[in-house]
Amino acid sequence: MFPEKEPVYTYPHQLRSRYGETDKMGYVYYGRYLEYFEESRTEMIRSLGFSYARLEDNGVMLPVVHTEVDYKAPVFYDELMKIEVLLYDIPSVKLETYYRVFTDRREAPHILGKVVLCFMKEETRKPCRAPADFIDNLSSAVES
């Protein structure tokens, strides 16, 4: 699932699992991880000085076109998670994001994930290149 090279950018985000996100076994419900990935990705973009709202204000949408999640070990209620968002390439039309979910209870990741999004013109609903200012902000972060 992950490319066999070093990421060009990594963003760490922390979340704590809440009671309403767990199932009867006390495990975080499997469908919640895509929501965790979305929050982490949104905050990664914000940390670059850009936001989803700014993309939308500029007529660019970013729909999800593909997901993968590999469940290695459960995360329990009230555990603090470190979610790493990894980028292996500067995007052009697609933004490929990868995720690793850790807790202090385990050295290896609990969850591995991949989400692919496509930059799309709101007006035409057709794929487009990532906005130049988005690429510039990401490239600056990669270089520092």
Burial of 2 (0-12, 13-18, 19+ CB in 10 A): middle
**Residue 93: closest CA among 50, 141, 60, 51:** 60
Predicted pLDDT of residue 10: 97
Predicted pLDDT of residue 137: 93
Residues near 53 by beta carbon (within 8 Å), at least 6 away in sequence: none
Q: Report pLDDT digits (tens) over 12-36.
A: 999 999 999 999 999 999 999 999 9
Judge whether 76 lies within some domain: yes
Judge whether 67 lies within some domain: yes
Query: What is the domain-level CATH number for residue 39?
Result: 3.10.129.10
Sign of CA dihedral 80, 70, 85, 40: negative
Is residue 50 scored above 90 in pLDDT?
Answer: no
Judge whether 2 lies within some domain: no
- pLDDT (mean) for 23-52: 95
Judge whether 77 lies within some domain: yes
Q: Position 55: which residue type?
A: L
Q: What is the pTM of this model?
A: 0.95
Is residue 144 scored above 90 in pLDDT?
Answer: no
Judge whether 138 lies within some domain: no
Range of the domain at 60: 9-133
Count of structural domains, the chain: 1
Predicted pLDDT of residue 20: 95
Mean pLDDT of the chain: 96
Judge whether 119 lies within some domain: yes
Judge whether 121 lies within some domain: yes
Q: Report pLDDT digits (tens) over 84-129.
A: 999 999 999 999 999 999 999 999 999 999 999 999 999 999 999 9
Judge whether 144 lies within some domain: no
